[in-house]
Amino acid sequence: MRVNPEERRSEWTRVRVPGRLPHNFVLLLIVLAVISGCSRPSHITVGSKVFTESVILGEIVTQLARSSDIGVTYRRQLGGTRILWDALLNGEIDVYPEYTGTLTNEIFAGKGIRDEAAIRQALAENGIEMTRSLGFNDTYALGMREDTARRLNIRTISDLRNHPDLRLGFSNEFLDRGDGYPSLRDAYRLNLPHVTGLDHDLAYRAIATGSIDVTDLYSTDAEIAEDHLRVLQDDRHHFPDYQAVLLYRSDLRQRAPRMIAAMTRLEGRIDEPSMIAMNADAKIHKIPEMQVASEFLSRALNVFARPSYSGFWARLAERTWEHVELVSVSLLAAILMAIPLGVIAASYPRFGQVILGGVATIYTIPSLALLVFMIPILGIGWKPAVMALFLYSLLPITRNTFTGLRGIATPVRESAAALGLPRFAQLFLVELPLASPSILAGIQTSAVLNVGTATLGALIGAGGYGQPILTGIRLNSHSMILEGAIPAALLALLVQGGFELFGRVVVPKGLQMARTNH
């Protein structure tokens, strides 16, 4: 039977449906996608604590990863031990520098863990692994000015018992840690009444000026030699070894095996004099930590990393964007929540007292404590900082909304009702416009307070103007502190002025005149 060529072409078209691909071609695409995904560079996140040595070690790890063509993000000076440990467990960071003494006496306190094998076993139960020692021991110690120690003939920690009038200033973490002052006090039976807590870096300045007599030291601190301090002998051998190690998530062996090999290269390569010298370069000679880390890698491992430095204006732009984002997002969320709360509080006075009492209670929580409370729920970084700022913003806006609405004269309310306006229309067309000056004042107060409070977000990796302030305090650099403090002050003034102008547009003219006359 003869087939029409047109029918043959039509039949071929019906079989070759557009958009349907042969099975082998689909399989080929899948294989290519898998190969592409496997060849994509691994990405890890490195963290560090808030003190200089940890920042330098984190920078060394970061640059070593980049030299191995591993994508890496470095979240520096995130806070204390617990913040970093929780971030590691939660997968928010993959690697951070730690010390064996901290593991045995703080993280695994009370579990009787003492040797390396037991530490590794405890870590493995949490999905964490540990390198061997990086090569140095950075143990705790107590120190005094050499001239004071010589005058009082104090050489050991036990000698402190004979001088109850001494002023002791310890870092806040040392005061609370299981391997810190509480256990030291019990071991040496110290009964010294004048003990205060302060930042570790500020303690060095305090002891140098004579404001305190004794402080806690890390044995690799560069300030020990620079400030002519005497390290008191631990005559009862209270402080354990604090061998520096790197903790990392076990899943790195699958996700980034090259990172494991890179970290292994650091084992045993940093001795105590080298670490002291690096700390001195950063803290005393003011050499950027990126450069300090780069010079170490080229000298010790023959790795030539190229750290990238941001100029002042680039840093300012980055920090400004981070800070504005923290303030604006938290403030907008607070406005959307607080104004309805204020309306409800004004409409139902008894329930309103509960609402006002609740937001007032939140406001009394210290800002730093509120940030820390958010970490177990939201982790570190941007989210907990925004949540804390949001909660702090509720009180001024809620209270001012409540006050503005309750302050509307009764005849005005009755007139609006007499016009036959529904309750919804009365609220939006009459009451909220009349209360707008008070509401706007509450929003303005929250915004200005948020600009200042947002600087604390740097303690948990949220960035913003707090980052240079925190770095400046750590490095005793007034210029770095001002790099964050001055823009924060200027932003607060800008926000305040902006709301003043905004009020002239939003607030009805008659209310503006009444407020001016009043």
For residue 168, give both structure tokens. Answer: 């002791």
Distance, CA of 142 to CA of 247 (rounded, Å): 27
Mean pLDDT of 389-399: 94
Round the average pLDDT of the chain to a whole number and report it.
86
Range in 42-56, 252-266, 290-304, 308-322 the model is least confident about: 308-322
Q: For domain 140-231, give the fold.
A: D-Maltodextrin-Binding Protein; domain 2 (3.40.190)
Answer whether residue 363 shows pLDDT above 50: yes
Measured in residues, the chain has a length of 518
Distance, CA of 394 to CA of 405 (rounded, Å): 17
Answer whether residue 250 shows pLDDT above 90: yes
Distance, CA of 82 to CA of 433 (rounded, Å): 48
Residues 6+ apart with CB under 8 A from 513: none
Distance, CA of 184 to CA of 190 (rounded, Å): 8
**pLDDT score recorded for residue 262:** 93
pLDDT, tens digit, 9 for 90 and up, residues 115-148: 899 999 999 999 999 999 999 999 999 999 999 9
**pLDDT score recorded for residue 487:** 94
Under 8 Å between Cβ of 376 and 316: no
Q: What pTM value is reported for the model?
A: 0.78
Place of tokens 């969320």: 333
Under 8 Å between Cβ of 455 and 465: yes
Q: Helix, strand, or coil here: 507?
A: coil
**pLDDT score recorded for residue 260:** 94
Under 8 Å between Cβ of 191 and 161: yes
Pairing type for strands 229-231 and 214-218 reads unpaired
Mean pLDDT of 476-488: 90
Mean pLDDT of 399-406: 92
Pick the CATH number of 312-517 from 1.20.120.160, 2.60.40.1730, 3.90.1200.10, 1.10.3720.10: 1.10.3720.10
H/E run at residue 129: strand 128-130
How confident is residue 40, by pLDDT bands cut at 50, 70 and 90? very low
Residues 6+ apart with CB under 8 A from 123: 103, 129, 130, 247
Distance, CA of 469 to CA of 480 (rounded, Å): 6
Beta carbons within 10 angstroms of residue 66's beta carbon = 18
pLDDT, tens digit, 9 for 90 and up, residues 266-308: 999 999 999 999 999 999 999 999 999 999 999 999 988 777 7
Output 310 or 126, whichever has higher pLDDT.
Answer: 126
- The domain segmentation of the chain, as residue ranges, is 5-37, 43-136+242-301, 140-231, 312-517
Across 84-98, 359-373, 498-512, the highest mean pLDDT is recorded for: 84-98
Same CATH fold, 140-231 and 43-136+242-301? Answer: yes
Under 8 Å between Cβ of 449 and 437: no
Q: Report the half-sphere exposure of 15 (CA within 13 A, side-chain side).
A: 7
Q: Report the half-sphere exposure of 84 (CA within 13 A, side-chain side).
A: 30
**pLDDT score recorded for residue 18:** 43
* Cα–Cα nearest to 74, from 298, 293, 324: 293
Distance, CA of 283 to CA of 477 (rounded, Å): 9
pLDDT, tens digit, 9 for 90 and up, residues 58-69: 999 999 999 988
Answer whether residue 35 shows pLDDT above 50: no
How confident is residue 508, by pLDDT bands cut at 50, 70 and 90? low
Task: Report domain 43-136+242-301's class.
Answer: alpha beta
